[in-house]
Chains A and B, each alone.
Chain A
Amino acid sequence: MSQSNGMTNLLWLQGASCGGCTMSILESGSSGWFDELRQFGINLLWHPSVSEETGEEAAEVLNSVREGRVPLDLLLLEGSVARGPNDSGRFNMLAGTGRSIYHWMLDLAPRADYVVAVGSCAAYGGVPAAGANPTDAVGLQFEGADAGGALGAGFRSRLGLPVINVAGCAPHPGWMMETILALTSKDLSATDLDTYGRPKFVANHLAHHGCSRNEFYEFKASAETMSERGCLMEHLGCKATQAVGDCNQRSWNGGGSCTKGGYACIACTSPGFEDAQNFLETAKLAGIPVGLPTDMPKAWFVALAALSKSATPRRVRLNATADHVVVPPGRTTAKRTP
């Protein structure tokens, strides 16, 4: 890895982003993200939200990388690449430089040892690419689920890797830092990425794993309206059985997760999640949810659901449609009522 003074040079830019990925990573590190970076020998060359260099000094940092005067280990982009209008990139100019982020990325990406797309916008296009996609927004190496994007499907960074997609909207600060650190220590190789370029240490799990509502899921004891405690899959749109992420196995903001927060997983780690509609309602066909777990035959699912529903303990059934625990766990002496 090209290093200056033994440090890893990291450059973080923002394209058509909301800044949320940055806001999320600022929660990383017990003594703050800046300290954490230093502890691992990472030199933040420039970051638009936090760096001292501004205006022409900042432009000079970018030019020094573009012209190869300063080696670049990690290039991170947060936000989608707005290619419009007409491939000019003018919907997203990098202020003061007269160049669009699109063109800056085309120049900078080949200079970097590794290129990381931070968040679903940079990975696949994300919310700016929703609907009619007014700005022709794409990800760095994907356009939705299709390989391509701003850099093209064939792009490889200097050390031979495709763009590493830390998907999520916003991604967990841990996903971002663990990816950065695994790259810094050269621990992450092409085989550690799934077919959508996501690190497998995140993508080998489902958001459903470890959900606090798993007991309700087992019995198909479902919440019917918002703020009830039951499983959110049958009526309230939960896609966590199809969406990758260890969301429910690690804590968000000191103990949360979407489903713990009382609302459905909207599959924000998946390409194209933004084009779904009615996010908190389950799409159904003949009363059966359309989006069943991908690796389970539908007939089995339906049969098991019917069976488990008939075996639902009273406690689970009643708690599912309450916003507080109405029946606490405990030995029941009464006969189960079906």
Chain B
Amino acid sequence: MTRITIGPFNRVEGDLEVRLDVESGRVQRAEVTAPLYRGFEQILEGRPPLDALVLAPRICGICSVSQSVAAAAALRHAMGTEAAPNGLLATNIAHAAENAADHLTHFYIFFMPDFAREAYASQDWYQETRERFAATRGSAARDALPARARLLETMGIIAGKWPHSLAFQPGGATRAIELGERVRLLSIVTSFRTFLERTVFADTLENMLSLSTADELDRWRAGRSGDFAHFLRLADSLALSELGKGPGVLMSYGAYQGADCGLFPRGIVGPDMVVEPLPLSQISEDVSHAWMRDCSSDPAHSNTVPDPDKAGAYSWCKAPRLSGQPVEVGAIARQTVAGQALIADLVAPSGTNVRNRVIARLIETARIALAMEQWTRALRLSEPFCAPSQEMPDGAYVGLVEAARGSLGHWVAVRGGKIERYQIIAPTTWNFSPRDSLGVAGPLEQALVGTDVGEAGARSVAVQHVVRSFDPCMVCTAH
């Protein structure tokens, strides 16, 4: 058995170290370390509750709107008020833009460049892939970055700026959209659709979303140009559907808000593919292998106190569990719980894996591009965008949203007008969790076991694919 350490693990958001025990070229055991701790939960304690809207989003510059929306949802719950429906629509549009930008950034900047690495020089698809996807030099980045910047102009209109905006408030959004701005939003969404249809899919979004089985996807792919079809060919050639199998249970908190705009439902789904209600009270966090002092396992009652010298610990990340089990979150979980036909047909036989995670992300991008268009048209321009803030009585409150990478929850306890406790469980906290007190490994740790690293050891590209297929956000993980 040899132990290898991989780091710096780049082209992920934030800091990550992975340790693998390898025997006969196969991973036997994996340990995932989040090597950065900043202490946001400690920083928030004792502050006025609304300060969370300034500080909490700065956990992460890649999903800061998600963090804002989770904080605003928790505080809205604390106020016991309703947000202005327009404010929720505007929030949804901005949140969808961030999530779509994240999916694009992941695909083009973080994930695909691995296929352009020297390790694949002997493959017949190598030259083409290298020209298109090589990190920082490939032609794809020249297409994707301007498309991303254009999509983020949504933020200039709704949120003032991105990342880190204060536009998302418990009562809604801080500015009313005028007619000219609605038209500008529609034109941004249309440009985005054009980019997806020309460059990513080489087909219309409607056609993409009408594909409902793995066979249809195979037929669709044949002879097609576009980056998605290119990925599908690579996935076949490298058997990516057999790589990086997840732990089996998928969770979604439900995505996007408002009376008639909740887009993706809440639920859990196991290997039997039956969607069940989510038992929220069964969410806990275990710190047996985290550099954290013991505390309540219920996020509504726990604190975060670092203990850097703790024996047996190997990460700043706590281990969240649902009914005692590790669960996988992300676009694949969201789309499976939502019963998206193609994703369900892919997940049913092979579960979650490198290929399916990427497909789910791109299919979701097509879905939210269409939703952005609808939400923009649904804004009632003459009605209010923000309801006034209210006092916050003592109590424990929660805000649950879906960030691009999966389920994000903020648990806030208010006492005497101050934050008494603040706990955050981010998507990658779920996916990149360390072991729990029963020794059960987190989802990525499980997904890495069995990976064939061959002679390459620490240089194995397969390990890179597995890790990046989750689109980890390490700055969110330990925060």
- Chain A residues engaging chain B, CB cutoff 8 angstroms: 14, 16-24, 26-27, 29-35, 44, 47-56, 58-59, 82, 85, 90-97, 126-128, 130-132, 134-135, 137, 169-170, 225-227, 251-264, 266, 268, 274, 277-280, 323-324
Contacts and interface: CB of A to CB of B under 8 A. Distances in A.
Contacts of B141: 32, 34-35
B382 to A, nearest CB: 7
Interface string B147-168: 0111011111111111111110
Nearest to A173: B149
B70 to A, nearest CB: 15
Contacts of B395: none
Contacts, number: 286
B370 interface: no
Contacts of B12: 49
A53 B12 CA distance: 12
Given A91-B38, A96-B6, A225 B59 contact: no
B62 A253 contact: no
Contacts of B144: 32
20 contacts: A20-B58, A20-B164, A27-B152, A31-B146, A32-B145, A32-B146, A34-B142, A50-B109, A85-B306, A95-B15, A127-B43, A137-B38, A251-B156, A254-B149, A254-B152, A257-B161, A261-B160, A274-B55, A280-B50, A280-B166
Contacts of A24: 61, 162-163
A130 B43 contact: yes
Nearest to A46: B10
B324 interface: no
Given A54-B8, A135-B38, A255-B153, A92 B15 contact: yes
Nearest to A36: B145
Given A20-B163, A253-B153, A59 B8 contact: yes
B2 to A, nearest CB: 15
**Residues of B in contact with A, size category:** 35 or more
Interface stretch (B371-379, B383-391, B432-440, B441-449): B383-391
Contacts of A58: 8, 10
A262 B55 contact: no
Given A55-B6, A254-B149, 18 more contacts: A14-B14, A18-B60, A18-B62, A20-B60, A26-B148, A33-B145, A34-B142, A48-B11, A49-B10, A49-B11, A49-B109, A50-B11, A91-B308, A127-B58, A258-B160, A266-B54, A279-B54, A323-B176
Interface stretch (B129-137, B239-247, B350-358): B129-137
B39 interface: yes
B465 to A, nearest CB: 12
Contacts of B105: 23, 26
B36 A16 contact: yes
B10 A226 contact: no
A153 to B, nearest CB: 25
Contacts of B6: 54-55, 96
Contacts of B169: 226
